Amino acid sequence: MAKILEVKGLTKQYDKVLAADKVSFDIEEGEIFALIGPNGAGKTTTIRMISTLLIPTDGDAVIAGNSVVKHPEKIREDITYLPDEAGAYKNMTGIKYLRFMAGLFTSDIEKINAYVERAKNMCGLGDRLNDKIGTYSRGMARKLLLSRAVMTKPKLAILDEPTSGLDVLNAIEIRKMIKKLAAEEKMSFLLSSHNMLEIEFVSDRVGIIAKGHLMVTGKPEELKERYGASNLEEVFERVVKNSEVH
Amino acid sequence: MKFINLLKKELSEIITVQMIATMGVLIVVFMMMGNLMSGAIDSVVEDATNPKINICDLDDTELTDSLINGLKDAGAEITEISVNSDNYAAVLKENKIKNLIIIPDGFTESVENKEKPKLISVSKMESAATLANITNDNSGAASFINNCVTNIVAQQTGMSMEDIDLITNPIEVDENTVVADKTANISISTITAKLASQSSMLPIVLFVLIMLTSQSLITSVSNEKIDKTLETLLSAPVSRVSIITAKMLAAAIAALLNAVVMMVGFLVFMKDITNGVTEQLGEVVGESLSVDKALDVLGLNLSVGQYILVGIQFFVTMMICLSVSIILGSLVNDAKSAQTAILPITIIVMFPYVITLLTDVNALSTVPRILINAIPFTHSFTAMSNLMFGNVKMFAIGLGYQILVFAVCLFIALKLFKSDKILTLSLNFGKKKKKVQTED
């Protein structure tokens, strides 16, 4: 499988805080990779650097052959980013929002229509798309935003805490959508979550991150076996304890 | 195409139903204010033409009767009141009146003895408003009585009215006003009053527009940041310059709409007031026309070209405000700070606005003049005056300075949007600490 993303020693130093320290991993085509760790571990910083929102202090990330440091504008054509707890324009209707976002990726009306149609089918909001986003429930808004993030068939969809704040049923639905897109359309995903149990079900591989360091990467099953754990939470606990001992 | 898409979205965010409704309400308010003022002026004019005078004649002589009849012949509506005490407040209250002239006992005797007779004038003050107190003022009636007594004194002393006039007004002042190299035969106070009534509107409109558009842009940018829609926009394949330009252009269009509405509203308001005066006092129009002619002679009426120059300067002013608003909005991280973020703009606009209302900045001593001129918005408020009085060099320097300030502000705004500072830097307005944000 071809590598869609190669992260090489990404580092972000704020004034006194080292938010990400030489983070390296890669994602293959059609793969779902999840960065997991507690709040403040460095997940969002890493994701924001890959999304071209933050400029790395050191290191680089290459997406489909383009560097986030040298050619961020090219990267933006190949990715979509869904921030954690992102909102949308509350006075816009759902359909207008989709059309507006599609218009940022292409000027071709036919493509815009195709993107919007795809998002309409995926979000399952039906006639509610004609209502203002301000009237949506949290789950509805998240489905709208998620369908926006995948409607352009990006090479890499970056989703920060995609199911945060959602009830179980909505979260399951979104996880299924992600898995389906990766399997059927070979779309690659970079997810982040502090919910390690949930991520175990959706991701092909995970990277455990704590205090800005990417401790270990691997398939959930491999990691559980390697650390003799029954779930990813236990893996995380053992990885962090081992690193403190060493 | 992508830019149009962004612009449409920004316009739909700024020009909302609420904003259009507000503009409609503004027009209605101006019309209502105009009608209200027109009514008030009508009433003042009516009272000035046919004043209602309450008189208590304690002297009750042939002379005082003739004075009262004279007032009646001059169009005054006289009501005779009986007063038994010097508690004037109680007298006014008891008779439900707002003014009173008392001709005291001995008035005629004083006139006959060539002594200064005393006339008591009582006026009720109901508020600090100018119009509210005009009709309560007895000065017109007192002046009339004064003239009548002057006539009597003239007859007693064998002087003609011309002699009296020569004594009271021994010199005739031929007032001339000079602007640059032009001279007009008119008093400087008349010109100043006319200019004040003509040019007071534009700075007010500009001031209100600056506040409105700055607040709407700060709110727009800060909302994007708070809702994280800005992150989505910045990670999309669209240039940062387009994002900023679309935001500023949409705010400028909204400002233009507001400006048109405010100007129309103000014109309706002024028209109602002017009609109120001109319909009743034809002679005032004559005077006003001669003032207009004098303004032409002095070159104080701006040409179309000069109005365009003022318009350009106002546009640059708006652009400075918008670029500063983009910067301030970008530094805000919560809704509360967004509300106070406009404070720096308010201060640096309010200060020169008030100063230019009170004095001529160019006439100040060197240090205060330099300090006040260093505030870019000073030049917006002095633009009209500079062009009127031929200070073209000062106008050009001001415009050039504003363009420079705009370029610097725009550069900072672009730099902010192109760097990651827009997501990491935050100034908590109203709080003490400047902090750099970090996240997971």
pLDDT computed for residue A239 by the predictor? 85
Note the pLDDT tens digit of each residue in A192-232.
988 887 788 899 999 999 888 999 999 999 999 998 989 88
Per-domain residue ranges of chain A: 3-85+156-245
pLDDT computed for residue B285 by the predictor? 43
* CB < 8 Å to A53, chain B: 231, 234-235, 420, 423
Inter-chain residue contact A80 with B12, CB threshold 8 Å: no
Per the prediction, chain A carries an average pLDDT of 90
- The model's confidence at residue B330, banded by pLDDT at 50, 70 and 90, is confident
Please indicate, yes or no, if residue B217 is contained in any of the structural domains.
Answer: yes
Note the pLDDT tens digit of each residue in B231-250.
999 999 999 999 999 998 99
Contact in structure between A191 and A149 (CB atoms under 8 Å)? no
| Percent over 70 (pLDDT), chain B | 89
Task: Give the end-to-end CA distance of chain A in Å, rounded to a whole number.
Answer: 35
pLDDT computed for residue B103 by the predictor? 92
- The model's confidence at residue B430, banded by pLDDT at 50, 70 and 90, is low
User: Would the ipTM clear 0.90, i.e. be above it?
Assistant: yes
Q: Which of B122, B138, B172 is the last residue of a domain?
A: B172
Which neighbouring-strand residues pair with A158? A81, A190
Backbone phi, psi, residue B81, to 5°: -120, 150
Contact in structure between A142 and A170 (CB atoms under 8 Å)? yes
Q: Which of B111, B139, B172 is the last residue of a domain?
A: B172
Inter-chain residue contact B231 with A83, CB threshold 8 Å: yes
Kind plus residue range of the DSSP H or E element containing B225? helix B201-227
pLDDT computed for residue B406 by the predictor? 95
**Interface membership of B431 toward A (CB under 8 Å):** no
- The model's confidence at residue A35, banded by pLDDT at 50, 70 and 90, is very high
Backbone phi, psi, residue A159, to 5°: -120, 115
pLDDT computed for residue B205 by the predictor? 79
pLDDT, average across residues B333-344: 82
Residue with tokens 């929002």: A97
pLDDT exceeds cutoff 80 at B194: no
Alpha-carbon span A124 to B76, nearest angstrom: 82
pLDDT computed for residue B340 by the predictor? 85
User: Is A3-85+156-245 assigned to CATH 3.40.50.300?
Assistant: yes
Burial class (CB in 10 A: 0-12, 13-18, 19+), B157: exposed
Shared domain for B112 and B226, answered yes or no, is: no
Q: Of the spans A138-142, A188-192, A235-239, B80-84, which averages the highest pLDDT?
A: A188-192
Shared domain for B128 and B202, answered yes or no, is: no
Note the pLDDT tens digit of each residue in B34-67.
788 777 777 777 766 777 888 999 999 988 988 8
Shared domain for B351 and B269, answered yes or no, is: yes
pLDDT computed for residue B284 by the predictor? 44
* CB < 8 Å to B237, chain A: 73, 76-77, 104-105
- A193-202, B221-230, B235-244, B424-433: the lowest-pLDDT one: B424-433
Alpha-carbon span A5 to B200, nearest angstrom: 63
CA B407 to chain centre: 31
pLDDT computed for residue B286 by the predictor? 47
**Interface membership of A19 toward B (CB under 8 Å):** yes
Please indicate, yes or no, if residue B7 is contained in any of the structural domains.
Answer: no
Domain count, chain B: 2
Shared domain for B120 and B221, answered yes or no, is: no
Please indicate, yes or no, if residue B78 is contained in any of the structural domains.
Answer: yes
Shared domain for B133 and B202, answered yes or no, is: no
Predicted TM-score (pTM) of this structure: 0.76
pLDDT exceeds cutoff 70 at B33: yes
Give the domain CATH number at B121. 3.40.1710.10
Shared domain for B264 and B396, answered yes or no, is: yes
Q: Which of B172, B198, B215 is the last residue of a domain?
A: B172
Determine the structural domain holding residue B56 and report its residue range. Answer: 46-172
Note the pLDDT tens digit of each residue in A84-94.
888 889 889 99
- The model's confidence at residue A244, banded by pLDDT at 50, 70 and 90, is low
Both tokens assigned to B364: 């100040």
Shared domain for B119 and B196, answered yes or no, is: no
Inter-chain residue contact B1 with A54, CB threshold 8 Å: no
- The model's confidence at residue A135, banded by pLDDT at 50, 70 and 90, is very high
Shared domain for B166 and B196, answered yes or no, is: no
* CB < 8 Å to A86, chain B: 227-229, 231-232
Task: Give the end-to-end CA distance of chain B in Å, rounded to a whole number.
Answer: 36
Shared domain for B282 and B390, answered yes or no, is: yes
Note the pLDDT tens digit of each residue in B276-313.
555 554 444 445 457 778 888 888 877 888 888 888 88
Both tokens assigned to A23: 């983070």
- Distance from B230 to chain A by nearest Cα, in Å? 9
pLDDT, average across residues B343-358: 88
Shared domain for B164 and B188, answered yes or no, is: no
Alpha-carbon span B42 to B40, nearest angstrom: 5
Alpha-carbon span B214 to B221, nearest angstrom: 11
The residues, any chain, with a CB within 8 Å of residue A23's CB and separated by 6 or more, are: A7, A9, A10, A11, A42, A46, A59, A209, A212, A213, A214
Note the pLDDT tens digit of each residue in B251-278.
888 888 887 887 787 777 766 666 655 5
pLDDT computed for residue B433 by the predictor? 47
Which neighbouring-strand residues pair with B23? none
Shared domain for B202 and B320, answered yes or no, is: yes
Shared domain for B332 and B273, answered yes or no, is: yes
Inter-chain residue contact A86 with B227, CB threshold 8 Å: yes
Alpha-carbon span B135 to B438, nearest angstrom: 67
pLDDT exceeds cutoff 80 at B197: no
The residues, any chain, with a CB within 8 Å of residue B88's CB and separated by 6 or more, are: B100, B122
Residue of higher predicted confidence among B174 and A109: A109
Kind plus residue range of the DSSP H or E element containing B322? helix B304-330
- Distance from A18 to chain B by nearest Cα, in Å? 10
pLDDT exceeds cutoff 90 at B175: no
